[in-house]
């Protein structure tokens, strides 16, 4: 089968060389594709024998151009919890006869299906992998007890956690704010993680931001994989797919329930390095064995093709 992947993130999951190993596809920028006249789009699909289209949810995009196609159209979500409950998203799916919705949260599958009722749509959960040639153990000295990365606007609970950890005199704390935009900056970021004993994970929202009818549906954050892959111990609040992905508190990650609990656990594991090293190594093995681009890209393509073929 030949898929058309419409994506604007340079060097991202869909444009990575790994996907080309598993499926023939065309990658195209969304602004270019959606600027075409409908006849040109249809001609492109016929000429290249496209069997499905996988796009993403963007503002100011005319999805009506896709609603009359006989091939499946799939919308990929970068933020499933935010889409669930959004009437504007629901209208896009229903009005444009979207065949399928994909997102990286297995915990959100039933919630998405319930939200989109009575419209029936194929639900395709997947795991967003990471580049293990970048996120790896560089063998650097551990200079910090805890490192925090990313924007506070993306992880609202993070600021509160950071302030509590930074204020504790027994904890050496590092804050890395820079957003990586190219290969060199991603390596720089990976080395920052590698210099810390513990890294604060991506699932840092207030609990009420990631629930639907009482069910925890937060996305899977690649940041959690990136931390473990650099042989740094993951410290995170809970997230919907944690156990499904194989993460176990005290086995290959550290889960906290409050800022006070985070401090208590950081201090405990700092004073018990053998236990911390065991958890760190187990997390490293889990990610390197399961969540690289090759593995996750192959699974997504197979999931799409299986759904289409019935």
3-state secondary structure the chain: CEEEEECCCCCCCCCCHHHHHHCEEEEECHHHHCCCCHHHHHHHHHHCCCCEEEEECCCCCCHHHHCCCCCCEEEEECCHHHHCCCHHHHHHHHHCCCCEEEECCHHHHHHHHHHCCCCCCEEEECCCCECCCCCCCCCCCCCEEEEEECCCCCCCCHHHHHHHHHHCCCCCEEEECCCCCCHHHHHHHHHHHHCEEEEECCCCCCHHHCEECCEECCCCCHHHHHHHHCCCEEEECCCCCHHHHCCCECCCEEECCCHHHHHHHHHHHHHCHHHHHHHHHHHHHHHHHHCEHHHHHHHHHHHHHHHHHC
pLDDT at 70: 82
pLDDT at 258: 86
pLDDT at 216: 65
pLDDT at 207: 46
pLDDT at 204: 58
pLDDT at 19: 43
Ordered domains of the chain (ranges, CATH): 2-129+293-309 (3.40.50.2000), 144-290 (3.40.50.2000)
pLDDT at 17: 47
pLDDT at 122: 95
pLDDT at 301: 83
pLDDT at 203: 63
pLDDT averaged per 10 residues in sequence order, the chain, 310 residues: 66 43 56 80 84 80 79 86 87 92 87 92 89 95 93 70 91 90 89 97 59 70 92 90 92 92 95 98 96 82 88
């Amino acid at each position: 089968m030949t898929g058309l992947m419409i994506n604007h993130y340079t060097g991202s999951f869909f444009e990575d060389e790994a996907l080309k190993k598993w499926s023939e596809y065309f990658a195209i920028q969304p602004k270019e594709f959606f600027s075409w006249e409908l006849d040109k789009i249809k001609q492109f699909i016929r000429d290249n024998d496209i069997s499905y289209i996988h796009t993403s949810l963007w503002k100011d995009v005319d999805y009506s151009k896709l609603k009359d196609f006989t091939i499946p159209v799939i919308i990929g979500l970068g933020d499933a919890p935010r889409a669930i409950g959004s009437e504007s998203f629901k209208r896009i799916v229903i009005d444009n006869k979207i065949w399928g919705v994909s997102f990286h949260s297995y915990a959100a599958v039933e919630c998405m299906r319930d939200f989109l009722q009575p419209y029936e749509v194929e639900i395709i959960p997947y795991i967003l992998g990471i580049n293990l040639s970048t996120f790896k153990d560089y063998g650097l000295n551990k200079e910090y007890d805890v490192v925090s990365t990313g924007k506070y606007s993306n992880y609202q609970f993070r600021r509160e956690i950071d302030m509590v950890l930074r204020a504790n005199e027994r904890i050496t704390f590092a804050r890395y704010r820079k957003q990586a935009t190219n290969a060199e900056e991603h390596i720089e970021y990976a080395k920052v993680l590698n210099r810390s004993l513990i890294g604060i994970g991506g699932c840092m929202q207030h609990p009420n931001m990631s629930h639907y009818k009482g069910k925890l549906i937060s996305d899977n954050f690649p940041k959690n994989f990136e931390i473990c892959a650099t042989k740094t111990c993951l410290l995170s609040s809970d997230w919907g797919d944690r156990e499904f992905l194989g993460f176990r508190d005290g086995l290959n990650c550290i889960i906290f329930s409050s800022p006070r609990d985070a401090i208590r656990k950081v201090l405990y594991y700092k004073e018990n390095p053998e236990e911390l090293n065991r958890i760190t190594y187990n997390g490293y093995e889990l990610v390197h064995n399961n969540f690289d681009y090759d593995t996750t890209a192959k699974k997504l393509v197979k999931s799409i093709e299986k759904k289409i073929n019935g």
